[in-house]
Structure formats: C-alpha cells, structure tokens
Structure 1
Amino acid sequence: MKIVVQVKLLPTAEQAAALRSTLHECNDSANWVSQVAFDRGVPREYELRKHTYAELKARGLGAQAAQHVIKKVRDAYTTLHANIKAGNLGKRRSKRRVRAESKPITFRAGAAQPYDDRCVSWQHDAGTVSIWTTAGRLKGVRFTGSADQLKTLRGYRQGESDLIERDGAFYLLATCEVPEAELNANPDGFLGADLGVVNIATTSDGDVFAGRRLNRYRARQLRLRAKLQKKGTKSAKRRLKQRSQRERRFAADTNHVISKRIVAEAERTSRGIALEDLQGIRSRVRLRKPQRAAVHSWAFAQLGQFLAYKARRAGVPLVFVDPAYTSQQCFECHHIDKRNRASQARFRCRSCGVVAHADLNASRNIARKGEAVWNAGRESRVPAPA
C-alpha cells in the first residue's frame, strides 16, 4: 500500500535560495512545455520530449529534472482529460469546461517538482538529504518529522519524492510502500459510523465525536478572514496568507484523530467498519445559503480516505453502503418514515415508538447494511449443480 510521508526541510539561507530558484526554474520550464504541448495538440510523452528536451537542457536543467518536467506536464494534461471525460468540469459548453480547454495548464512557482533517487538521497542517521538544484548538488540539508514519519520513511521509502514550497517553508513528500496487515476475512460483525456536521462521526457503539470544537474554530476563522479582507492593508493581506492553511491543517488533524480511534476500536473487537457512500453529496444535497459553508467546507471524503487507508494497514475490512433511508429507518423494527426523524438529534419511530439519538440510530442501520453487503460479497452466485 502506497502512502505519502511529508518531512520538513531545514535549509540554511543559502540552501533555501538555491531550492527556491530550482523550483521557480522547473515550474517556469513546465509552463513553457505546457504551451508547446497545447500548441501541438498535447502529443504523447515521447513526441513531446523530442520538441522540448534540448531546450530544457539549454535552460540549465539536468537530464533527470528535464525528464520529470516533461512527464509532470503530460500527466497534468492526462488528469485534465480524465476530468473532462468524467464530467467533473461540467457539460460541453459550460464556462468552467470552456475555460479549462481554451488555454494551457499553468504551474505555480512553488508547485511540486518530482525527484527520483538519482536527484535526492537520504542520510537517515544524520537526518539530512543530498538534493540536486540548478546551483549544483546541495549536501547536508537537514530535515525533520514526527517519530512515526521518520520510522516509516526509513523502513519503507520507495519511488519518487516531491519537493514543494509552502508559505516560505520547503517540504519533501516521499512515497512509501507500506505492507498491509492480513485482512480479517471473518469479522465479528461491523462497526457502523454515521458522518455528519454537528457530530463529525457517531459509531454504532454509541461513541460520539462532536464537531462543536471544529465548527467554532471554522466560524472564528471565517469572521477573521472577513475582517482582514475588509481592512485590505498590506499587513492584513500578510495575515490572510498566514491563516490560509490553518483551517485545513486543523480539520485534517481532527479527521486523523477520529479515524485512528474508530479503526483501533474495530481492530480491538475484531469487527469491520461500515460507512455511507457519500460521493457526490455536495451536488445531491440542496441547502439554504447559511448552511452551504458548513457542509461544503467539511471534509467528508478526507475522513473516509483516512479510515480506508488506516483500516487497510490494520487488516480491518471496510465497506461502503447505500446511504438511502439510514436516518429515516428504525433500527429496531425497520419501519421507514420521513417523520421518524423528529429533529436533528432526536429519532422517534412512528411504528414501534422507540426513541433514540438520530445519529446513533443511523449508525446502527449502517452497521447492519455493512454486514449484509459483506456477506453478499462472500456468497457464491453460481447455482448448485442439479
């Protein structure tokens, strides 16, 4: 299983200048290659290399760096065409799709630049890397990370690493091939998890991970952004830039903590995990304007991804179920009625009269559906011989 480990570089002032210059030169060259590809109808990578490789070498890029720049551009166009084909950019004549198709792809000055083992080498004992730059090879560039990150990096790093600059700091994103634990093929039931905004996750065991703290933090950040944008001074713009990634990091940390606890509980009790398939929820759900910011800023997909890869590392089965009627169906008698959901937090069955927390009732329905999906996937659909 591939995961990405991010470590922070701690370069000196001279090393930082060389790294920044390298990223700017590589991405400036990528913009030129993108223009060539756009003018020539985005040819295959081999043909694109024939038109651009010599010029990239003349610009001062090394052989491997030039190859990675060309591949990065071609991969970006491949992703764009896949999104267009999948309809992610709208219909044929929509403004968003026309805008994407009418101009070449551009790369930010600090965008990621791939490095292979010829361009970067790791000295784990010393905590340093040796990395190629346009100013020559930099040796002894220090890096840091958490103990778990450094352990994973030392034991499982394999493949490319990406150099990026974010808010004046440099990071290396290393690809690691981590072995998966043996899958528990006979789980003792399933742990259902209902995802939401008021409560980020509620499990069928009754554990509630409230979103009150995260929602308060987001509301405060929204007020601060509005205040700084209204002020409009240079100092306010600088503060806005500093705060731009804080909410994202805070939400990601919250999702990591929640997913780790859910997977640990499922592993401890030898159960699987069942989640609702919430793909495309933003386009399906109709909301009032005040509710849109809360729903559209909440990372449903991110929490699902964290749960998926942590479950794979622990050998815990994970299934996604149809979310239809999970909040309207009674777990006890299976009666479905829209009026069963008395309020956001209260569930009262119109048939059997059971009263429960709405999210807990939904999570138990998800657990039951997850077990049914898992058993259906294991059953043979071939008829027995007569």
Structure 2
Amino acid sequence: MSDRALLRELFDRAVAVADPMRFIGPNLPERPQGRLLVVGAGKASARMAEAVEAEWGPCDGLVITRYGYGRPTRGIEIVEAAHPVPDQAGVDATARMLDLLGGLRADDLVVMLISGGASALLCAPAGEMTLAEKQAVNAALLASGAPIGQMNLLRKHLSRVKGGQLAAAAAPARVVALMISDVPGDDPAMIGSGPTVGDGSTDKEAREIVSRWQIALPESAQAVLNAGSGVIPPGDARLARVENRVVAAPAQSLDAAAELLAARGIESVILGDDLNGEAREVAQDHARLALEKQAALSGDEVLVILSGGELTVTRRGDGVGGPNAEYALALAVALNGAEGILAIACDTDGVDGAAEVAGAIITPDTLARARDAGLDPARALDRNDAHSFFGALGDQVVPGPTLTNVNDFRAILIRPA
C-alpha cells in the first residue's frame, strides 16, 4: 500500500468507527410506558434516527439534517435543510418540532438526537429577527475567525431553541439526548449549541463576542441581546428530567487510526482531539514538529502524527476554502517539498467549510506539481482558495455524505529524509 493510500485509509477508518449504527442501539434507554417521540438535528441525525429504528422499529418523530444527508426511516420523518447558513426549510421544520414537543406528559419519553450541524439546522430566530437576518449573522460568524465555542455562545442567545430551550419545551416529559461530539472537549453544552443543556452565559458575554470579533449584527439581533435572551440556566426545573449522553467523540476516531497503524507496525503519536486555532498557524507549528520528528528517524522507521479538533479560518479573500484545506495548503508551503512527509486533513462530516469536499492530501511533490500547473500556493492562501488549489491538482478528498461528524481528522506521515 502506498503512503497516500494509507492516509486515506486512516481517514476512512476514523469515519467508520463514528457510524451511528455502531453505538446508538446500546445507548438507548428502555421504551416508556407513555408516548415515545424521537426528534433531533445535525449532519448525523438522519443516520442516528435510522439506528434508533433498527433497534426499536418505526417511531414517531422528526429530525432535521443537511441536504443530501437523509436516510430511509420507517416512522421518523427526515427533513433536509441548509447548512452552514440556515434556510426556510430549517425554520419550518424547527417550528413543527416545537409543536410536537408541546403537551407531553410526565410518563412520555423524548429521545433527542444531536450532532454537529444542529446549530444551523435548528433555526428559530429570537425576538423580531427574520430568517434573512439570521442568515446574515451566521455568515458573519463563519467569516469572523471566532472559535466554535464563542460562535455557539452567541448563537444560543439569538435563538429560541438553543441553550437548553429545545429540551425545556418537552417538559415535563423525560428527555434522553444522544450526542455525537464535534467540539473540542466534548462539552454537551457546545454540541449543536446545546439545545438540551442549560447555559449559564450572559447576554453581556454574547455582546463581548460581537465586539471582539467585529461581527456585524442587525438591529433586531442587537435588540435581543439588549433585552435578555431565553437561554435556560443550569438547574432550571424544566431541565430536571433531561439526561445528556455523548455517545461518540473525536478521540475514538483518533484511537482507531492509531490502532490501525499499530497493526501495520507503524508508530503514531496523538497530539490531541481538541486542537483549535487559526488553520494556517497550526499548520506551521505542525510542519516544524514534523521536521523535528523526521530528523530523529532512521532506516525504515515511520511515524504518523495524528490530531483532531476544529480549526478556524479568518476570511481574508474571495476564494473557496475551508479549515482543513487551508491547513493542508499552509502545511505544504511550510514543508516546502520536504521529502518523506505526506499528510491528510479532512472533516469527518465530508464537508470542509461550505464546499462538498472533506479536505485534501499533500505529498512532497505538491508544490512542484502546482508550479507545473501554473498555480501559486501563496496567492491561494492569501485568497482563502485552498479548495480550488487542490481541485486543480486532483488532491481533494471527496467521500460524499459520511452521515457522521466527529470533527477534523489530520494525519502527517513521516519517513526519514
């Protein structure tokens, strides 16, 4: 197997172990005496719903997933909507979900299926905000370079479902939320902006994020923050019967990749599953680390550096890119054609940024092939145009919908120079 093929196999393995079919069934509670309702949102939510029905048979409910991520279910309705910027389909489906949750009783059970992407797919703007204004806020957040945790905090304060509000709508029913983590640290309050988790943040903190990251807010959004949002504080009685379970997380995927390498006799080191920061800056750090590790290798030794987390991109240009592709491009530039070092950087949901591309692979000849093709890697970085760069080289990774989401996956394979 070539080194390039091995890198792709590592990514595929990371995705496969995060398949909801593997772990939803064992984490389901006992069926209730009263009514059972299944709701949820996220890029993995349709697959999660499919897994629920594989265990329990047809169920009542509604989940919202990204366009192209639907799955065949027998009872649970699957609605597809836009991500990362919400659309009317998401607004309408969220309103219907809130209607379903109204009027439940104490002996009813709601299973909520939450995965990355729920922040955009669960769309119920607070106050007088319109969908167009909500879309503008989301677009501004994505371009700001703000860490995912701060983006989600602000989203909570501008929503009628985030920050514990979705689960509160189901009271007094029992709620069991099954979550697939796509956030550093696997904090349930940050997954999908915490629709089932109480939040102690304040409107003042939300306003500070707006100021720090220079996010342009419409007047209606500013009015929500000034008037006080509806996030549910921890300890609120409406959340007393809510149980949140993280059933899959990035660490599992990194461990699975390390196990695959060990079975091939290849050493690996995991930097962590919660790395964050500007994609190009992290790439420069990783390039230096890779070269240091390479200098210590000899003979037939091979080392793979693994990492996860969620990197960010501060939008500076008008290109087509995403955090993983930008990381890969910046890594290639920093390595400057160093022999013996290859890498892959992909989002496990199959979508890097807004493009239908998971990420890219770089090889020692990436820059040379780019020159031959008339491509300028520095200009591509300046324009945030990494997807176009790798597309022209044929080095994009395009798995299609993966039906899961456990954040970024990066692997740097190192042989002696």
Tell me which interval the TM-score lies in, with the shorter structure as reference length: under 0.3
Please give the TM-score of this superposition, normalised by the length of structure 2.
Answer: 0.22
Structure with the larger helix share: 1
